[in-house]
């Protein structure tokens, strides 16, 4: 019985049961979950979110060198290897590993990873999909190939590889001669898809939508 203010967190802890298997697993510090393939979150610097205080140029440059992100480190690598960097920012995790403690990229020696902004390609195959992604992939492509015309809504948290699977499906269907139109609601999101178009640009949707507004999209 809880008197006064209800403490939901304490109630959960008091009522929680940890069995012997979970206890042993935690005692030996085994991982509690895993991602396959590994998903690397790439940072972006949005307007107004990376401000520099009123300091001297030397102070700003010194502080910036100590606050390297995955993006600024990518820029630094490209600047130092101008003729040896054929990869885009989204493709970088395939070939490099981000060392968080040192704030720098290191050449990948083993394993495989994708970024949240990963494009699907010559290199990404269906074999890279995990079990959940493979199940969704089979369901969606089966509907396409059998002309069922089913509408799907794919729901998942950030970093679960939704865009990776979208692009894999799109490229598979295109390889078989299907016409695939991939669009997104915003410009940043559209850059993650094969085709790189927004819905407004593709379907000529007017910015101010009225009752008599029309949009055109030819085959």
Residue 119's pLDDT is 41
Tokens (6 digits) for 41: 């979150």
Q: In which residue are the tokens 């850059």 written? A: 191
> How far apart are the C-alpha atoms of 113 and 118, rounded to whole Å?
10
* Alpha helical stretches, state H, 16-120: 20-27, 57-66, 70-80, 92-95
The pTM assigned to this predicted structure is 0.44
Neighbours of 31 (CB within 10 A): 6
- For residue 118, the 8-state DSSP code is P
Which position has the token pair 């493979």?
134
What's the pLDDT at 123? 40
What pLDDT is attached to residue 58? 76
Name every residue whose Cβ is closer than 8 Å to that of residue 182 and which is 6 or more positions away in sequence.
Answer: 166, 167, 170, 193, 194, 195, 197
Q: What is the pLDDT along the chain (219 residues), one digit of tens a residue?
A: 445 677 877 777 777 778 888 889 889 988 877 666 677 777 776 555 566 666 677 777 676 666 778 888 888 888 887 777 777 787 788 888 888 888 888 888 876 666 654 444 464 567 778 888 889 899 999 998 888 888 999 888 777 788 888 888 888 888 888 888 888 887 777 777 777 788 888 888 877 878 888 777 776
Alpha carbons 50 and 72: distance in angstroms, whole number: 12
Tell how strand 96-99 and strand 104-107 pair up: antiparallel
The reply to whether omega before 31 is within 30° of 0 (cis) is: no
The residues pairing with 172 across neighbouring beta strands, listed in sequence order, are none
Give the pair of three-digit tokens for residue 13: 């802890």
Going by C-beta distance under 8 Å and a sequence separation of 6 or more, which residues neighbour residue 84? none
**pLDDT, position 115:** 63
């Amino acid at each position: 019985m809880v008197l006064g203010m209800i403490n939901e967190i304490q109630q959960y802890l008091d009522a929680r049961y940890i069995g012997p298997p979970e206890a042993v697993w935690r005692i030996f510090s085994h991982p509690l979950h895993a991602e396959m393939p590994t998903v690397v979150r790439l940072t972006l610097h949005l307007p107004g979110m990376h401000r520099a205080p009123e300091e001297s140029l030397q102070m700003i440059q010194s502080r910036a060198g100590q606050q390297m992100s995955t993006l600024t480190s990518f820029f630094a690598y490209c600047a130092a290897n101008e003729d040896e960097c054929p990869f885009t920012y989204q493709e970088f995790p395939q070939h490099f590993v981000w060392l968080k403690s040192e704030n720098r990229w290191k050449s990948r020696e083993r394993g495989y990873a994708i970024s949240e902004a990963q494009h699907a390609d010559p290199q990404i195959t269906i074999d890279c999909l995990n079990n959940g992604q493979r199940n969704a992939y089979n369901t969606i492509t089966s509907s396409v190939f059998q002309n069922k015309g089913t509408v799907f809504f794919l729901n998942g948290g950030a970093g679960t590889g939704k865009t990776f699977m979208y692009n894999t499906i799109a490229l598979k269907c295109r390889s078989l001669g299907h016409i695939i139109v991939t669009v997104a609601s915003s410009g940043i999101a559209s850059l993650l898809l094969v085709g790189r178009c927004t819905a407004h640009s593709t379907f000529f949707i007017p910015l101010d939508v009225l009752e008599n507004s029309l949009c055109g999209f030819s085959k």
